[in-house]
Structure 1
Amino acid sequence: MDKIVVATDFSERSDLAIARAAMIAVKTGAGLHLMHVVDDDQKYRIVKAETALSEQLLQEEAVRLKQTDGLVCASEVVLGDPFDGIGSSADALRPDLVVLGAHRRHLLRNVFVGTTAQRTIRRANWPVLMVNAPPKQTYRNVLLATDLSETSGKAAAHFSALELADSAHCTLLHIFRAPAQQLLMSNMLQEGQMDRYLVELQVEAEQALFEFAEPLPFQNSNRMVRHFNGATSAAILATAADVQADLIVVASQGRVGLSKTFLGSVAEEVLRRAEVDVLAIPPNLLA
């Protein structure tokens, strides 16, 4: 990894993001680029004052990181909307990773307009790490969710290339459904038949996950297949809690032909509800 961009709004949430980004930079030898966006839809004197203060705060943070972690950091104040500013600057810098602080969990804002983190990830051309938890150590228990698609395979390979964790610390998770379970509920299928059906699906899913993982650099990783008929995002989050994951990796899904790229519903819900860090790898990066 060569370059990490970390966006900060100088909140405690952003402090966690900076700490995690610094930890990754130390581990991988990547350069660190600190960024803050000043909303330019204000009076000129306010923009000027906020810009000057932001530059001072970024420089102080760079000095601190040099003293504590030995990191030489670049810094930048960008004018614009936080979402557009982060995206445009990152596009110009072409980082290997963008690190953001966790979003505010305001229900109405999440439902109607989304958060800066989510909006940034939707249009991203680079992996985005949303930091939710205080970083205590390098990632030791990564849950990588896969639907066994080609896009998911490319996301897994790209995650490996980032060197955020050793493959031995990763669990590949595949969630499968049982369509015939509706027949049991409607009394068209006996319970014993359903049990046999689930066993067959489990074996098929395990074989499919084995074939999916074989060409990927995850020979030492754990592999887990789970049956779940509810929301896939809920299954991912429940499994993350069960295995005590400190990072969840998801591939976002894009819609071709739209002016913006939207997160698929699974990744969207994982990002919205996760209590641990989430790495989203966008489909436009994997084309």
Structure 2
Amino acid sequence: MQRIMLATDFSERSDRALRRAVILARQHGAALDILHVVDEDRPRPIVNHEVNHARQLLGELALTLKDMDSVVCTTGIRLDDPFVGIVKAAAEAAPDLLVIGRHRRQVLRDAFVGTTAERTIRTVHCPVLMANGPPVGLWRHVLMTTDLSEHAVNALRRFLAGGIAGDATRSLLYVFDVPALRLLMSDSMGEEGQRDYLENLSRKARQELAQFIGRAGIGQAERIVRHEETTVADEILKTAGEVNADLIVISTQGKGAVSRMVLGSVATQVLRDAQCDVLVMPTVLA
């Protein structure tokens, strides 16, 4: 990993993202670009004032990182819609990783277009890290997730090749479907029938996960299978808590522009509800 881009709005949420970006930059010896986007759809005096203020804050931040963290960074300001500005900057700089913080939500707007973070993730072509957890050091436990598809193979190969998580302990989670139980057929099966049904599906899921690991070349990782009791996202979040994961790795799904218009429901829920960091790997890079 050679270049990291951080998008900041100078909030406490962005401060967490900054510290995580600095940790990663030092760990990998990567260049760090810090971006602030000023919303230009306001009266010009307000925009000019914010640009001047942002320029001062970025300058102070660059000096602090150099003196305190021995990290040399470049800074930039864009006049644009925050979402559009981040996407344009990422397209031009082509970073190996884009780091963002959990953005403030506007309930009505988000119901239609999603948060700035979610809109960015479904548009850019590089991996995106949403920094949620306390950035106290290197990640210790990474929970990778898979649906056993070829898209997931490609995403996890890119994740492992990038060495983003360093030497952290790895777990790989596969949540398998239980159609008979999900379709409210459990009453006709009885308790013993349900146990046999789940055990058979679990055995098959473990076999399929082992085959996936071989295809993806994942190497050493704890294998975890669990059935979809509520939603796949809920199972991911529960597993992350159980194994004390401080990073969840998920992937976008599908190919082409149409699939990028809507971030998968699993990824969306994980992004919105996770308490630890979440790394979204694109399955197809431009």
The verdict on a shared fold, with TM-score over 0.5 as the criterion, is yes
Amino acid at match of 1:266: V
Contact 1:167 1:218 in 2 (8 A): no
Amino acid at match of 2:103: H
Aligned in 2, Cα 1:217/1:22: closer, same or farther, shift over 3 Å? farther
- 1:35-83 CA-to-partner distances (Å, cap 9, x unmatched) read 0001111222322222122112111111111111111101100110000
Please say which of residues 188-197 and 237-246 is displaced more in the overlay: 188-197
Structure 2 gap segments, 5+ residues each = none
The residue aligned with 1:48 is: 48
Please say which of residues 82-91 and 114-123 is displaced more in the overlay: 114-123
The residue aligned with 1:92 is: 92
Amino acid at match of 2:89: S
How many angstroms apart in 2 are the aligned matches of 1:108 and 1:185?
37
The residue aligned with 1:268 is: 268
Q: What is the aligned-residue RMSD (CA, Å)? A: 1.9
Contact 2:142 2:168 in 1 (8 A): no
Contact 1:141 1:244 in 2 (8 A): yes
The residue aligned with 1:228 is: 228
The TM-score, its normalising length taken from structure 1, stands at 0.93
The residue aligned with 1:169 is: 169
Contact 2:172 2:223 in 1 (8 A): yes
**Offset, 1:33:** 0.2
| 1:3 matched to 2:3 | yes
- Matches for 1:179-218 after TM superposition, within 5 Å: 179-181=179-181, 185=185, 187-218=187-218
- Matches for 1:1-287 after TM superposition, within 5 Å: 1-166=1-166, 169-181=169-181, 185=185, 187-254=187-254, 256=256, 258=258, 261-285=261-285
- 1:65-114 CA-to-partner distances (Å, cap 9, x unmatched) read 11111111011001100000000011000000000011225544432332
Please say which of residues 83-92 and 206-215 is displaced more in the overlay: 206-215
How many angstroms apart in 2 are the aligned matches of 1:206 and 1:96?
33
**Offset, 1:283:** 3.0
Amino acid at match of 1:165: A
**Offset, 1:228:** 2.1
**Matched pairs, number:** 286
Please say which of residues 155-164 and 61-70 is displaced more in the overlay: 155-164
How many angstroms apart in 2 are the aligned matches of 1:248 and 1:176?
18
How many angstroms apart in 1 are the aligned matches of 2:40 and 2:99?
23
Structure 1 gap segments, 5+ residues each = none
Amino acid at match of 1:58: L
Please say which of residues 275-284 and 235-244 is displaced more in the overlay: 275-284
Amino acid at match of 1:280: V
**Offset, 1:9:** 0.3
Contact 2:139 2:168 in 1 (8 A): no
